[in-house]
Chains A and B, each alone.
Chain A
Amino acid sequence: MTGPSRIIASVIVIALVAGVVAAFAIAWQPAIAAIDPPAPQAFDAALVKRGRDLAAIGNCSDCHTVRGARNFAGGLPVPTPFGTIFSSNITPDAETGIGRWSEAAFRRAMRSGVNREGQHLYPTFPYDHFTNVSDEDDRAIYAFLMTRQPVHAPARANQLSFPLDQRPVIAGWKLLFLRRDAYQPDSTKSAEWNRGAYLVAGLAHCGACHTPRNALGAERVSAQFAGGDVDNWHAYAINDKSRSPVPWDADALYAYLRNGWHPDHGTARGPMAEVVANLSQVADSDVRAIAVYMAEISGAPTPDRKRQGEAALAQAKSPPAQATQANPAGASIYAAACASCHETGRPLPYGGVNLGLSTAISGPDPRNLVNILLSGVRAVEGERSPIMPGFAASMNDTQMAGLLNYLRARFSNQPAWTGVEKTIADARRTETVLLQTSAGPRSAPADPTQRDKP
């Protein structure tokens, strides 16, 4: 996931300030000779299998597949304030996909954001991260994509106005922000840590959402993982600025990324739900590596933060506190609409996290909480998955604000949010509130720690 609006904004700035100045030499890229689409059997099965895992870590299918349509055939509209960009067809179709791309052409696209014909690609395709992907991994992903079913699906024209529709301007942006570094292993760290660092910075492109962007729409290197914005969601800070009531550690991160939920943190939602759905299918060791690396990024919690985390956990396990009398309406709404799931003591992911553990309620603004409250969490077709009803129809803005204020006061030690009603009104208007639960194969844990009262 990227922040398309910011990228587009950056493109504008480039166009106005530095764009035209960008050297033609950089803007011009040669075409790479077309090949005859190779037969699927030409690829080694083990390589394809590895490519499948890597493509899942890279979240390729989520942007290159329209829900309910053919896999990897592209056409997903990414709406932005400046227009709409459509993802491309990456099936091996000769006419409309990448069937005529050689491995070299594919690798150039991953590394430099240039297609086989030599055109610059918009950075909604996060090649600024993919630069570090090894030749070996690019080969595996190529093998995986070239063995998918070819689908004839012509690219949809992007709906951008001049000068944004001029691809050479992208070259200027690249000149400023595209670093073409291969991953340099840190020999003082474990192989697992290095694997994690390589994936996080590269294929998994975590920073694309979790790192804030500068005025030119590029990730702020100095504030890596300090929290970003995407599709009307806030991607939480996952460094030492994290606001999660209980500090994360490697085990918790691993469980969360692998299963989509963790008892001390809650369930992945919004765009993150897609990420964990993909991570549920890949090699266990890669998820573990990502968790180990990210745990070090977020650092060991301060004694103070550790103590607060323990307090939050203790409170979550103790009997429910008396409702705050200051807000009886909020308390009544909470009792009937929330507590019937969130306070049953039933373990996650089906019980609903104790809201004292929810980062959404301790977070800097209530956007994510509002998104969830409005639309709920829909069932994954035919699979065990958490379900939460949406409340858009039953609560007006004032009522929902009352509930949010109640939750903030009762379940966090943070000051009250401001502009809650506006956040709600904005969220109602935003059509890009894409709430979908992970389609991953998460099933009810069948061990005694995951019991509930029948």
Chain B
Amino acid sequence: MNAPVILDRRRVLAGGGALIFSFSLTSAFAQDQAPGAAPAPKPPGSLATTPYLDSWIRIDADGGITVFTGKAELGQGLKTALQQIAAEELDVAFETLKLVTADTRLTANEGYTAGSNSMKDSGAAIQNAAAQVRELLVAEAARRLGQPAEGLRTENGAVISANGKRLTYGDLVAADMLHVQAQPKSKLKDSATFKVMGQSIPRVDIPAKVTGGAAYVQDMRLPGMVHARIVRPPSYGAQLTECDTAAIEKLPGVIKIVRDGNFLAVVAEKEFQSIKAMNALSAAAKWKETASLPKQDDLLKVLTSLRSQDFTIFEHSNPAVTGQKTIEATYTRPYQSHGSIGPSCAVAHFTDGAMTVWTHTQGVFPDRQGIAEMLRMPPASVRLIHVEGSGCYGHNGADDAAADAALIALALPGRPVRVQWMREQEHGWEPYGPAMVTKLKASLDGNGKIADWNFEVFSNTHSMRPGGAGSMLAAQHMAQPFAVPEPKPLPLPDGGGDRNAIPFYNFPNARVVHHFIPEMPLRISAMRALGAYHNVFSIESFMDELAALAGADPVEFRLKHLDDQRGRDVIEKAAQGFGWKAGQTPPLDRGYGFAFARYKNHAAYCAIASEVEVNRETGRPRLVRAVAAVDSGQVINPDGLINQIEGAIVQSMSWTLYESVTFDATRITSIDWQTYPILRFNAVPDSIEVHIINRPGQPFLGSGETGQGPAAASIANAIANVTGKRLRDLPLTRKRIKDAIDA
């Protein structure tokens, strides 16, 4: 983990029988090609942008196989899942594969590891690349054996003929054999024959994590490495007016103080020396601050009064249907923190004019672009290598820490520099999940069905990820600063603030407006599920309000408005697993809630039923149990999928019941776990049950973010069920619940 993975390409190329590759790809896949199709169809997933097979899979002469992905392990189990896919389609033993993840020198540029897209992008690319590589190997074997390919089979890293002759992949691979472009379609295995995919293979990263192995960028120790700490400004826009560093330079172990405008850092031989020096430097630094933050307790007014660009993103009308009873409601979500347990960290090494940065960024390529721009170096001279960090749940301080390390390393050529943020820096400077406001209005027709639906969402962009230098704090703080790039709404169908704003239900009349707010009073960016968290919370809470108006059972009411069969299936599965019955009475002080969404309206389906207990005197809520059903297409690793959904429910519960970033006119005031409390063990549910609906042979739909919105709404609906009061402002705190009960 410490050392960069170096794959010797010459060794790869020198392998095998060295016969000149003369196989005709066109004929091999001729049967898959649509005759006369005008624009050439593209291969699936990230193969479309990185088509060479050897960008994904390389085979050594000794049969060693390395799989490459431009995506990163974030603790979501990505490595294991991708390795399963490759092992399945290549027909090799799972444990024999080597996997290289995001590295600007070695892997494909797959952008960010985000949006629950890894399986759709990289999983599909590796699956298809592996299938095509296997086909090439079989064809080569057929050629060598003089037998038709149809009579050959593959098993455990070898091609085997009908008469038992065995040629290993190492024997078969030759020179540039895999340096060919992928075909649009592959001969994928029949899912019924899967041996590795669909199995709960234990995660490859867990053994090191539970035995103290080097597992994280925080654990890297390069020869000659030194430790740096940053002194961040006390607030957004603060200017460093004076800083006498003379005394600090004399502190034990201090090597260098790096100052560039408002960027201030100290480097020391040992880690704790750097912290002591940071404290001294922080005391010496004087800043001029400006009060620029909005009113924390009036976000509804703040957001709805900021200038916005308005887009009607969905409109559907059927004048034949008109509403009779109308209700409206406004829902709000505060700024929320990613709150990684391990503050962001990076190691950078500048040597011989080249910069190498080890980072837990979600996007090594875009981050490289930003760092190269900041350092005014050609991107080719900058290499970013992903090494795991603490879980990030979106764009946290990872990219900023990488930029910090690079900027400091530039000032200390030859010495690897490790930077780790302090707790208050992570909490105070990470780009938060944006605050949001949604306004809903709907009517029921005479039959208790929704006749019309109006949905408006007010929000910032949901991604200020790097690409340019201006996205990163170090570059913003330099004497010659880089401007923060202009925020843009993220395009649909994925969307940003409007992710999942368009209802997945069938409504005869519907209109959805996205009020995109360019101005960003707080530093914000992508947080798990983006706008879908609040939009699903709003839609699914409002669906319950409408069900109540119609006098209908919440589950039946949803089914009444949903044609999509897979959606209906997860709803029915969750309801059945929970023991949901229309008109049921929960035990004393308990309530039941239900919610459903299809993430991004085109990814995984998820329905969650929950039971919540509320203490009527204190208002304290407790999630007692939750039952989820999920359809994520073809399942690669069932236990991994369950782990993701369990985690989504528990994390979303913490967001939903407890969390909001706090600030005064000048500074962020939620800067640690006292001021930004999250779930602790005393509030962990009694049980969480996840039911998977597997769809063999169907495309991978991803799973990382699908649970966030439904979990929130399901809990909110259960609270409304037990208290009889509807809470529409996140978080649904004890105090708000108590006030509602007492009102």
Contact = CB atoms under 8 A, between A and B. Distances in A.
A52 B682 CA distance: 27
B427 interface: yes
Given A71-B615, A446-B297, A384 B674 contact: yes
A49 B664 CA distance: 33
Interface stretch (B144-152, B412-420, B616-624, B628-636): B616-624
B618 A439 contact: yes
A71 B616 contact: yes
A441 interface: yes
Interface stretch (A250-258, A375-383, A392-400): A375-383
Contacts of A448: 291, 664-667
Nearest to A383: B677
B669 A446 contact: yes
B186 interface: no
B673 A387 contact: yes
Contacts of B83: none
A454 B425 contact: yes
Q: Taking each of A148, A387, A446, A447, which has the highest tally of chain B beta carbons within 10 Å of its own beta carbon?
A: A446
B657 interface: yes
Contact of A382 (B429, B617, B657): B657
B296 interface: yes
Nearest to A351: B674
A386 B235 contact: no
Interface string A433-454: 0000001010111111011111
B669 A148 contact: no
B271 to A, nearest CB: 14
Interface string B656-667: 011000111111
B668 A383 contact: no
Interface string B415-436: 0000000001101110000000
B683 A451 contact: no
A10 interface: no
Interface string A52-64: 1000000001000
Contacts of A441: 733-735, 738
Contacts of B666: 448, 451
A385 interface: yes
A387 B671 CA distance: 13
A386 B738 CA distance: 22
A386 B672 CA distance: 10
A290 B291 CA distance: 36
B615 A454 contact: no
A450 B664 contact: yes
Nearest to A443: B662
B674 A379 contact: yes
A379 B235 CA distance: 27
Contacts of B680: 379, 381
Contacts of B618: 71, 439
A183 interface: no
A446 B677 contact: no
Nearest to B658: A382
A350 interface: yes
A71 B675 CA distance: 28
A454 B658 contact: no
Q: Taking each of A382, A447, A451, which has the highest tally of chain B beta carbons within 10 Å of its own beta carbon?
A: A382
Contacts of A452: 424, 667, 669, 671
B234 interface: yes
B282 A453 contact: yes
Contact of A71 (B235, B424, B427, B617): B617
B424 A453 contact: yes
Contacts of B668: 454
B694 to A, nearest CB: 36
A332 interface: no
B40 interface: no
Interface in B683-738: 683, 733-735, 738
Nearest to B287: A453
Contacts of A445: 669
B664 A385 contact: no
A267 to B, nearest CB: 11
B225 interface: no
B663 A446 contact: yes
Contacts of A387: 673-674
Given A451-B666, A451-B667, A452-B424, A382 B673 contact: no
Interface string B267-303: 0000000000000001000000001000011000000
A379 B677 contact: yes
Contacts of B738: 441
A381 B620 contact: yes
B190 interface: no
Contacts of B428: 454
Contacts of B142: none
Contact of B662 (A61, A386, A446): A446
A387 B589 CA distance: 30
Contacts of B297: 446
Contacts of B657: 382
A454 B657 CA distance: 24
Interface in A53-99: 61, 65, 71-72
A248 B575 CA distance: 59
A149 B734 contact: no
Nearest to B663: A446
A451 B670 CA distance: 10
Interface in A399-454: 439, 441, 443-448, 450-454
A450 to B, nearest CB: 7
Contacts of A381: 620, 677, 680, 682-683, 734
A350 B674 contact: yes
Nearest to B668: A454
A447 B665 CA distance: 7
Interface in B90-129: none
B538 to A, nearest CB: 22
A382 B674 contact: no
Contacts of A382: 620, 657-658, 677, 679, 683, 733-734
Given A61-B617, A382-B677, A383-B677, A454 B735 contact: no
A384 B733 CA distance: 11
B742 interface: yes
Given A448-B667, A453-B234, A454-B232, 7 more contacts: A381-B620, A383-B733, A441-B738, A445-B669, A446-B296, A446-B664, A454-B235
14 contacts: A65-B617, A350-B675, A381-B620, A381-B734, A382-B658, A382-B677, A383-B735, A385-B674, A387-B674, A444-B662, A450-B669, A451-B669, A454-B428, A454-B429
Closest 3 CB pairs of A and B: A454-B428, A382-B658, A441-B735
Interface of A: 49, 52, 61, 65, 71-72, 148-149, 350, 379-387, 439, 441, 443-448, 450-454
